[in-house]
Amino acid sequence: MPDSRVNRPMKRRHVAMALAIAALPFVCLDTPAAFAQAVMMRAPNLNVAPRTPTINPNVAPRVDPNIAGRANVVTGGDRATNFAPNTPRITARVNPNSTMPEARFSPNRHSSCEAADRDSSGACSGKTADSGGGKGGKSASKGKGKGGSGGANSTVARINSQTFPNRLVAEIDGTLTDAQTDELARRHGLVRVESQNFPLIGATIGLFRVTNNRPVDVVSREFAAEAGVREVQFNMRYLLMQQKTSEGDPAQYAVAKLRLPQAHKLAHGMNVTIAVIDSGIDTRHPELANTISDSFDALGSKEGPHVHGTGIAGAIAAHSRLMGSAPEARIIAIRAFAPSSTGAESSSYTIIKSLNYAVLHGAQIVNMSFAGPKDPLIERGLIATAERGVLMIAAAGNAGAKSPPLYPAANPNVIAVSGTDAQDRLFSASNRGVHISIAAPGTDVFLPAPDGKYQITSGTSFSAAYVSGIAALILERNPALKPNDVRAILEKTARDLGAPGRDQLFGAGQADAFAAVTAAGAPPSVPMAVAPKPADPAAGNDVSVSRAMTGSAASLSSEKSGQ
């Protein structure tokens, strides 16, 4: 039998333990509240093993945020089209023999950083803007259905909305004959719609249609791998920047805002040629008599005049009962936009054809009252146009406050124009951004319409047109000025609006034609930048067309077009 003295200590320990357990509830009831808070505030210790990513072959690759950014609404006519801020350049390789010019610096061009990367002074900041933009950035990454699989579908939808389906644009070897090009295309299920050599960019560009229902991106990669093909991309979609309105003050408030009567005592845009890349212009309208010096239909269409193109030409050169900003300027009327369900639209191929024609036929200013996504082919054309010393002016766009920069206005070689109203407020749909150079009236402006009619309309399209006319006044006053000189004069003489100094709504401010023409200085001894075309009695190219307004603008309000 074990010794009881041996078990006695063990019994004492058991009794002590039992008493401690019995007292535990009473001890907990007396715990201070600060202890509970401290427990709640403690950061948990999480030991998570490193996660090894796995790649599911059935999941589409992640989309670059610079490509699949927020879908932005750009209004053209009555409907809206979505544009992603930047568009993928579909190129399988870089051919060292490509004729594509490198981005060279020239005194007529701004530095090559993008508009979204500029600071408030317009200088390159070295920062990349978020292309997602606002709430749209979240929606772009948000999938639909299980597992968020809708992301890839939404990206495809965005690309489809900003391109023409089953169309590719490619730079091809200029030594190939049409037959050789057709055979090359046929091997990839393509049909050559059209091809042309463009001296502006030193390249032969072809427009091709996919015929075998294969994915366009797959066809483009395979086609780009051919020895005779150098660059391949989508045929991008562009829309005119007009928003129709049914009401508004019919008086030409823009005339007073821009101080056009005072400016016209010094210049009228005489012997300055402006190419208007737009829809069809009513060349027979009384407001445009003796104004159209040349016409080119880049579409090869038989469409009649269009309300947008006629209004743009009127904002520049109206001279009967209305007053444009440059009533004696010559206009090269280039039809590049065809009526569609979106109002009027054009494409990469048509616009590069139009730019090429404008530069080769002596345009000193190119008005581009349209907008769309960033486009590699058009970027090449803009660089080449700037290096030829041609001034380019474009509508900022009608996509509103949350839109990223639209093109061509966002190209650093282009003067981007936002819109204002009769109270000097920003046009509600106008794009914003550090790339905005200047503002001009674009809300409820009174302009010509086809068939001798008139319209009240809105859009940054017309703001750009007014500024193109003012630029013509500056060049008449001083033909020796370079594009950057004209830009500097426009911005320096602008009337500041909004926050003091340059801002993202109005740029340098609202254009002031009289101050700009005055600042341009006296004309040099040789009064014209280029020799004028020989007088053509039939066309009346050198006939003075400026005249005072002979009727009250208000009296024309009943003639508004019912567009």
Q: What does the alpha-carbon distance between residue 423 and residue 497 come to, in Å, rounded to a whole number?
A: 11
Has 512 been annotated as catalytic?
no
Q: What does the alpha-carbon distance between residue 563 and residue 558 come to, in Å, rounded to a whole number?
A: 14
| Strand order, beta sheet including 365-368 | 292-297, 330-335, 273-278, 365-368, 391-395, 415-420, 436-441
Please identify which residue in the block is written with the tokens 């500056």.
Answer: 474
Beta bridge partners of 393: 367, 415
State the distance between the two ends of the chain, measured CA to CA, in whole angstroms: 117
Has 542 been annotated as catalytic?
no
Of 461, 463, 468, 561, the catalytic one is 461
What is the number of helices (H) and of strands (E) in the chain? Answer: 14, 19
Has 306 been annotated as catalytic?
no
Of 308, 347, 348, 435, the catalytic one is 308
310 three-class SS: helix
Number of Cβ within a 10 Å radius of residue 234 = 27
38 three-class SS: helix
Strands (E), 241-325: 243-244, 273-278, 292-297
CB-based contacts of 347: which residues, under 8 Å, 6+ apart? 164, 167, 235, 236, 237, 238
Q: What does the alpha-carbon distance between residue 468 and residue 461 come to, in Å, rounded to a whole number?
A: 11
Upstream peptide bond of 408 is cis (omega within 30 degrees of 0): yes
Please identify which residue in the block is written with the tokens 């009727």.
Answer: 551
Closest CA to 431 of 445, 442, 422, 446: 442
Spatial contact of 428 and 245, defined as CB atoms under 8 Å apart: no
> For residue 11, what are the CA distances in angstroms to 3, 8, 14, 16?
13, 5, 5, 9
Of 173, 278, 294, 512, the catalytic one is 278
Catalytic residues: 278, 308, 461
